[in-house]
Structure 1
Amino acid sequence: MQIGLAVGDVRGPATLATVLDQVRVAAGAGFATAWTSQALGWDALTTIAVAGTAVADIAVGTAVVPVPQRHPLVLAAQALTVQAAVAGRLTLGAGAGIDAMVSGMFGLPTDRPVLRMREYLTVLGPLLRGDSVDYRGETLTAAGAVSVSGGVPAPSVLVAAMGPRMVRVAGELADGAATWMTGPKALGEHIVPAINKAAASAGRPAPRVVAGLPVCVTDTAEDVRARIAEQFALAAQVPEYRATLDREGAAGPQDVAIVGTETEVAQALTQFRDAGVTEFMAAPYGTADEQDRTVDLLAELAR
């Protein structure tokens, strides 16, 4: 199991210069990938293009970009632009988005999310490969192609997938799945077997499974878990995460976050490896000192 490092706002408010420094640290420490997410701050794809251009010796990825706001013709053009900028090191993580944000902020429909993602990926894959599409589905219409010069290869595509039907779509139409706030039980008993089966049935290679969680190396675990419970309280309430937390038997994010001493964190990470996770995306949590201590341990484990 490889270990990647989350950079940017998921670790706390960050300037663009701070994000670049985090990517440089990740590359220098030997982490597999620097991951950024799309929230309410920096644009994930633009940020990772800037960072990946400045730091050449680490893979970069989005985990994830919500797709309802970006037509596949638009996202394909953005992704291929980033892929060219970072010399083929991009993993494009995409997701259906959180219902409350997609509908509440953008006024976009959120019904039938699995069908919407299936239709979206049906179009996105060919566009990333440089093919023309003429698609008229139930939720999506797309006609045209994205033409970029220089033979830019299609990036690997991951889908934010935790529920059974979305996991099946990820296995059939993408290169794997990315999860957030999902523990080893839900991954090992539900997500990994299901996506492997779906990929095999579709004749696709063994999928990637990238699991993301807050990580904090600390001697005051109870205090840190209380802070995580407060900061990530939304994840315990929205249906997208609540169902996965229930499968884990967790009351909230504080119960699935990896928190403890160096020995305890290292032992916890082995559970994800044993569950079939191919890459762990660690989001260092806490104060600057806590994050530094966490990155030091993770870098040692990554080596």
Structure 2
Amino acid sequence: MVIDEEVSRALNELAQSTNVIGPVVVDNHINYVIRGLADTVEQFTNLSWCLLGFVGRIFETDMSIDSAIGEGTTATNNLLNTLENRLKTNQELTLAQKERMRDPLIQELISHVLLLIHQRQEKMPDWLGTITAISQPHLSVNNQGIDLIAIGLFQNNPIPIIGEVKAKEKDPWGGLNDACEKFTQTKDGEYDDEIRSALKDISRHSEPSFTKEQLANNIWRERSHFGALVGHDCQYGTNGTGHIDVDFSSNRQEILKQDPERLFFISSPFESMRDLFDNLTKELVLRAKSLSD
């Protein structure tokens, strides 16, 4: 079994099955709700392969697939080593350790999968446009930088895409507010060097791209589309239906500081985020081992 082929197949199938509600324009932000990522056995397995692709660093900046982890037993050993180092799959984690160490990483990987899905189906056009390049996700939960940096094209003009990822089992709107704290810091210039470096790097794979003058003038402060990608249980932050209220507009303090036309709330509600992330962690190990069967 070759990981490149499995991930490519899984990603195409997941792109077909994922359902996106939105964009829904409300007072203080623009909402998307993502369903169909892991609602069936097939979706769950496909999502696992896609996450494993990011763990193995087989996705290039231009979103092509190129594996450098080997095949068979070599690939299995490389992936298992990374899973043990990053997700602590060889340890029994406490709830606090999962919330602090594991869940943010899994949600960040899921959020990057959403960009790959959009690349194939353009399911979130108002936020991402035609996406041409993305930065690699962090594999360290201790990284305090920007979670997601990409380039989207709108009427053939490049726009910086800045994303902040939160795993908030019981508080999706708190996740949006927390993400907006990072967006405020970004507009205040606290991450200029990181964003400039990332955009300069991934611009090599985007045509057209940003000029040196645009990067020097910190184009992201005035033109970026900011996306808060929040994973949570569907029963929270609802209108009593058991699903996120796509028409709800939050007026928490940090949210009100943002430009509502450039702030996107991308909600991925799960029946149980805790159960899903526990099962995904186990499935990643099984998928890695299957490469040497």
Asked if TM exceeds 0.5, the reply is no
- TM-score, scaled to structure 1: 0.32
- TM-score, scaled to structure 2: 0.33
